[in-house]
Amino acid sequence: MKSDRLSPVGVFDSGVGGLSVLQHIRHILPHESLIYFADSAFAPYGDKSEADITERCLAVADFLQQKQIKALVVACNTATAAAIKTLREYYPDLIIIGMEPGLKPAALLSKEKIVGVMATQFTLQSEKFLHLKAHLTAETSVRFEEQACVGLVNQIEKGELRSVTTLKLVRQFVTPLLQSGADTLVLGCTHYPFVSSLIEQVIGEFQAERHASTQHIHLVDTGVAVALQLQRLLEQGGLSLQAIHRPPTLTAYTTSSKSSLRNAFSQLLKIPDSALQIFAITEMSPVVSHC
Ligand code: DGL
């Protein structure tokens, strides 16, 4: 069976981070049925090799493709950097939307022309990121200061959004960026919007301690842009649902525990258990990469 207008959109991430993108998709495209896939048993992706991440992405995409999705949103900067090209080669007829750290919007917002980029180690070392940074540095003369936030994804996966350990980590990552003079911070990992209040807290503390100007520091997250791009591509492909044809469904799969994902939906998005169906996946057939 082929996908059609009524088919769901698949959204996936290494874990719960992609929920920060899913919330915008639900808001912008309220009539679409959605399948969310959290590969939490393999999170974080950010410290894994390109080959390992690509293998996971292919297995997840294959699983979602079997659910007849009409579009795939790779709601993970790390997975996009590692595997988007391979995914497009495997599924040339499927709408596939990836994401990358919002360096371009940040460069436009930064008055000081210094932008801090928070992302995973893999994303910051990827060819895709280095190319984007070199291009924008040449074009805008903005300086990009990078910070690999090792350990932060794990805290968010554990649901520790406000714990002392998470605050310490955020302080350790954000302070050097502020010290470098950055007035704009890119949240280059879809997990990080869930600790934006801690990031704001650290910015406040930094400015108060140094009696620094309390200028607004922008936080750049590309979740909305991804949802809008999905809307455009569905419309172009004649696949968007403008009105309710039948009540949209929300289904979620996890390679870890159902209760953790249920808690994440409730804690992060305020979506109650009654509004979604959750399944735990124990086995997925590996897709052998021939690229
Ligand atoms: N949400 C993923 C991203 O956007 C997290 C990566 C990870 O699992 O390390 O990069």
Number of other residues whose CB lies within 10 A of the CB of residue 243 = 6
| Interval 250-278: pLDDT, tens | 999 999 999 999 999 999 999 999 999 99
Residue 243 has pLDDT above 80, yes or no: no
Q: What is the pTM of this model?
A: 0.95
CA 153 to centroid of ligand 1, rounded, Å: 7
CATH 3.40.50.1860 is right for the domain spanning 9-99+223-290: yes
Mean pLDDT of all residues in the chain? 94
CATH fold match for the domains 9-99+223-290 and 103-220 = yes
Residue 290 has pLDDT above 50, yes or no: no
CATH 3.40.50.620 is right for the domain spanning 103-220: no
Query: In angstroms, rounded to a whole number, what is the distance separating the alpha carbons of residues 195 and 78?
Result: 18
Query: Does 57 qualify as catalytic in the annotation?
Result: no
φ, ψ at 126 (rounded to 5°): -75, 150
Identify the CA nearest to 11 among candidates 239, 235, 250. Answer: 250
CA 12 to centroid of ligand 1, rounded, Å: 11
Cβ proximity of 112 and 182 under 8 Å: yes
| Interval 25-54: pLDDT, tens | 999 999 999 999 999 999 999 999 999 999
Pocket of ligand 1, candidates 13, 122, 128: which has the most ligand atoms within 8 Å of its Cβ, to mutate?
13
Query: Does 291 qualify as catalytic in the annotation?
Result: no
**What pLDDT was estimated at residue 209?**
87
Catalytic option among 57, 76, 149, 291: 76
Cβ proximity of 147 and 177 under 8 Å: yes
265: tokens are: 């939906």
Cβ proximity of 252 and 11 under 8 Å: no
Angle at alpha carbon of residue 284, lines to 280 and 289, rounded to 5°: 145
Residue by residue, DSSP assigns 190-223 as TTGGGGHHHHHHHHHHHHHHTT---PPPEEE--H
Report the amino acid identity of residue 179: Q
Q: What is the length of the chain?
A: 291
**What pLDDT was estimated at residue 289?**
46
Residue 152 has pLDDT above 60, yes or no: yes
| Interval 91-126: pLDDT, tens | 999 999 999 999 999 999 999 999 999 999 999 999
The 3 state secondary structure assigned to 76-145 is CHHHHHHHHHHHHHHCCCCEEECCCCCHHHHHHHCCCCEEEEEECHHHHHCHHHHHHHHHHHHHHCCEEE
pLDDT-derived band at 245 (thresholds 50, 70, 90) equals low
Query: In angstroms, rounded to a whole number, what is the distance separating the alpha carbons of residues 34 and 251?
Result: 6
Q: Which of 134-148, 206-220, 262-276 has the lowest mean pLDDT?
A: 206-220
Kindly list the domain boundaries of the chain, sorted by start residue.
Answer: 9-99+223-290, 103-220
Query: In angstroms, rounded to a whole number, what is the distance separating the alpha carbons of residues 175 and 141?
Result: 23
| Interval 178-203: pLDDT, tens | 999 999 999 999 999 999 999 999 99
> What is the CB < 6 Å shell around ligand 1?
13-14, 17, 43-46, 76-78, 120, 123, 153, 189-191
For residue 14, give the ligand 1 atom closest to its CA. 8
**What pLDDT was estimated at residue 192?**
98
Dihedral sign, Cα of residue 67, residue 47, residue 120, residue 163: positive
Report the amino acid identity of residue 150: V
**What pLDDT was estimated at residue 287?**
57
> Taking residues 72-84, what's their average pLDDT?
98
Query: In angstroms, rounded to a whole number, what is the distance separating the alpha carbons of residues 33 and 52?
Result: 30
| Interval 165-174: pLDDT, tens | 999 999 999 9
CA 122 to centroid of ligand 1, rounded, Å: 9
Q: Is residue 44 reached through a cis peptide bond, with omega within 30 degrees of 0 on the bond before it?
A: yes
